Structure 1
Amino acid sequence: MQWLALLAAYGLGSISSAIIVCRLMGLGDPRQDGSGNPGATNVKRLYGSKPAAVTLLGDILKGFVPVVLANYAGWSPLLVILIGFASFIGHLYPVFFGFRGGKGVATMLGVMFGLSFPIGIAVAGTWLFVAKVLKISSLSALIATALAPMYIYFLSDAEMSWVGVTTLMTLILFWRHRSNIQRLLKGEEDLIKKKPKAD
């Protein structure tokens, strides 16, 4: 049963919200333009706020729903976070879309909300604050997710399995953002609302 739950979470994560939303709305494939990333940020750059908002919601729910269901089932904290991790990996490497997925920020945020509402609020609030001050989407995501393990430590009775797996998710997310990090170091990363350069 637990292995099936992990596979189901991965399968749910593999459903690309960006690609499906764009197809249903008669838009192009977000993998073929802009940054080439099938995520809410690239969808917004290419097609506007409405499809981006739906994409964002879908990506968050992919992380949120399986974790909430696992918590409701009374499974161990380790299994709960592993189910969230499986959904996160599904988003990054979706079996249904040639293993070419997004960068994982929204799905990781959904996992955080699934673990604990205060943790989700802390991560989302950090992203919004940094985005407001620095106006760089990728930097906001990197800072918010880097702080996620600390938020878990202080807001979830120091559940160390959650801290450990979330730290792994953060490291993977940083790897997925390596091109953004290179541009940040060079001072070349685009500001929010400014037309971006393709990856």
Structure 2
Amino acid sequence: MILEAIMAAIFGLLLGSIPFGLLLTRAAGLGDIRQIGSGNIGATNVLRTGNKALAAATLLLDGLKGLVAVWAAGALLGPGPDVVAGVAAVVGHCFPPWLGFRGGKGVATALGVFLALAWPVFVIAIAVWLAVAKIWKISSLGALSAMGASVIASVVVTPGPVGIGILVIAAFVAMRHQENIERLVKGTEPRIGEGK
């Protein structure tokens, strides 16, 4: 079981570390996404280029990283390692070794993992994310609300190892939003399409 967990972790880290936001913006001739806005490689920062289609593609592909990591690990290694692969995919997205360990904040990849592990948790999280982002127009607030909702939902829907995995991922993503949380408290967090 330990060997399977290690294999799942390596697979998840490698898959999660594919920087789709950077690859897509470079392919589109928009330069290095790390040089604008927050410097992150995720969909929110890609949106700051003004290209909504690229931002949507980044969101989808980053989510698929988490989804595929869980499904593939589950199919090849069974339950347990699939959760490990999901957690590792989020970590890999946030700390890609090829980019000096400077990646995104893990929201889309986390949602992809939630979809693969427990789709009702995904549905609740995505609904909360979209609702909060639509009402307050603050991406980080929507993301943090979605992570909180996912933890609450997982307690009801899927206790046990899967629920623990979701809790770990949500906590990790929240930790990646520390600066955003500080700005939210101060009331200086930019709205969607603005600033950092």
TM-score normalised by length of structure 2: 0.92
Report the equivalent of 2:134: 132
Quick check: 1:15–1:91 contact (8 Å CA) kept in 2?
Answer: yes
1:168 has 2:168 as partner? yes
Cα displacement string for residues 67-111 of structure 1 (whole angstroms, at most 9, x for unaligned residues): 1223334612x3221110011110011122211110000000000
Q: Partner of 2:49: helix, strand, or coil?
A: helix
Output the CA distance in 1 between the equivalents of 2:119 and 2:172: 23
Output the CA distance in 1 between the equivalents of 2:182 and 2:21: 25
Residue 40 of structure 1 deviates from its aligned partner by 0.3
Cα displacement string for residues 26-49 of structure 1 (whole angstroms, at most 9, x for unaligned residues): 111111111111110010112320
1:49 has 2:45 as partner? no
Q: 2:36 aligns with which of 16, 33, 37?
A: 33
Cα displacement string for residues 100-129 of structure 1 (whole angstroms, at most 9, x for unaligned residues): 110000000000001122221111111011
CA RMSD of aligned residues (A): 1.5
Identity rate, percent: 40
Which has the larger displacement, 129-138 or 99-108? 129-138
Output the CA distance in 1 between the equivalents of 2:52 and 2:31: 15
TM-score normalised by length of structure 1: 0.91
Report the equivalent of 1:13: 16
Gaps of 5+ in 2: none
Quick check: 2:67–2:115 contact (8 Å CA) kept in 1?
Answer: yes
Task: Give the AA of the match of 2:45.
Answer: N
Residue 161 of structure 1 deviates from its aligned partner by 1.5
Report the equivalent of 2:154: 152
Cα displacement string for residues 146-196 of structure 1 (whole angstroms, at most 9, x for unaligned residues): 12122122223x2x2222222222222122111111110011111224x22
Aligned residues: 193
